[in-house]
Amino acid sequence: MIRRTLRKIIPTYAIFPLILTGLMNLFAYQGNKLIQLIVGIDRVIDLTTPWDSYFAFNPTWVLVYIGTFVFWAYQYTTVARESPEKAYQLAAADFVAKLICFFFFAFMPTTNVRPEVEGTGFIPFLMRFIYWVDTPTNLFPSIHCFVAWLGTRYMFECKKLRHKGPTCVLCVIGSILVFLSTLHTKQHVLPDVVSGIIVAEIGWFTARFTKLPKVVERINEKFMKTRLCKIL
């Protein structure tokens, strides 16, 4: 019963493509630290601009920042459910974008200065917790922003999507809110947001005009024959 319900949300053909996006997220965030350890990069760049002062620190935006994970999951699973072709394109685009992020994280590490979180209560606690678990590294480009925008990009290509017009408009608004949440929580600065959108576009174009999705498809065909896939 549960497995049947899960297959309606994530079809069998979409399991590997979606797992790949998760593995690439882990690789982009953690793999660069190994490279930095080997290469010995110890200088970080602060890309904060004068324009960032227009986005006042507001811990309430942490709710949107955390809610982004649900937004990502909705968009990625919806796109993957559209068709095998869209699932492979999404995985390929995500792979390329996160690979670009990995190289920037590893060889051009950036940082920013975070404000002191004052006050008590749930929101300040949550903001301090995010600052604790998500250190001011791996900022440029913003994965938070690129994943939100890439998912929205592909939502416009979903022909099976019910109420497509309103849904796509809400996804655009959702992406903008994600961008603002990264700025108002001071998790990111403007160059991080802009570069996040750019790498999402690079990933989208690569998946559209190269044979990389076909590579994902061939790997997925082998994965679907494994015992692991049958268990999942």
Q: Which uninterrupted H or E stretch holds 137?
A: none
Between 1-10, 68-77, 85-94, 161-170, the lowest mean confidence (pLDDT) is in: 1-10
Give pLDDT, residue 3: 65
Dist. CA 92–CA 87, nearest whole Å: 9
Average pLDDT of the residues in 47-55: 95
Give pLDDT, residue 143: 95
pLDDT at 222 exceeding the cut of 90: yes
Q: Residue 16 domain-assigned?
A: no
Q: Residue 51 domain-assigned?
A: no
- 165-191 pLDDT per residue, tens: 999 999 999 999 999 999 999 999 999
Give pLDDT, residue 216: 97
Q: Residue 1 domain-assigned?
A: no
Q: Residue 40 domain-assigned?
A: no
CA 63 from centroid of its chain's CA atoms: 17
Q: Residue 215 domain-assigned?
A: yes
**Cis amide leading into 11 (omega within 30):** no
What's the predicted TM-score (pTM) here? 0.93
Dist. CA 79–CA 99, nearest whole Å: 21
Give pLDDT, residue 2: 65
Kindly write down the DSSP assignment for every residue of 81-128, as one continuous string.
HH-HHHHHHHHHHHHHHHHHHHHHHHHS-EE-PPPPP---SHHHHHHH
Q: Quickly state the pLDDT bin for 40 (edges 50, 70, 90).
A: low
Q: Quickly state the pLDDT bin for 41 (edges 50, 70, 90).
A: low
**Domains in the chain: how many in total?**
1
Give the range of the structural domain holding residue 73, as residue numbers without chain letter: 57-231
Give pLDDT, residue 47: 94
Give pLDDT, residue 137: 83
- On whether the CB atoms of residues 154 and 79 are closer than 8 A, the answer is yes
Q: Residue 20 domain-assigned?
A: no
Q: Residue 18 domain-assigned?
A: no
Give pLDDT, residue 10: 87
pLDDT at 34 exceeding the cut of 90: no
- 106-153 pLDDT per residue, tens: 888 898 989 999 988 999 999 999 999 888 888 999 999 999 999 999
Give pLDDT, residue 232: 76
pLDDT at 7 exceeding the cut of 80: no
Q: Residue 96 domain-assigned?
A: yes
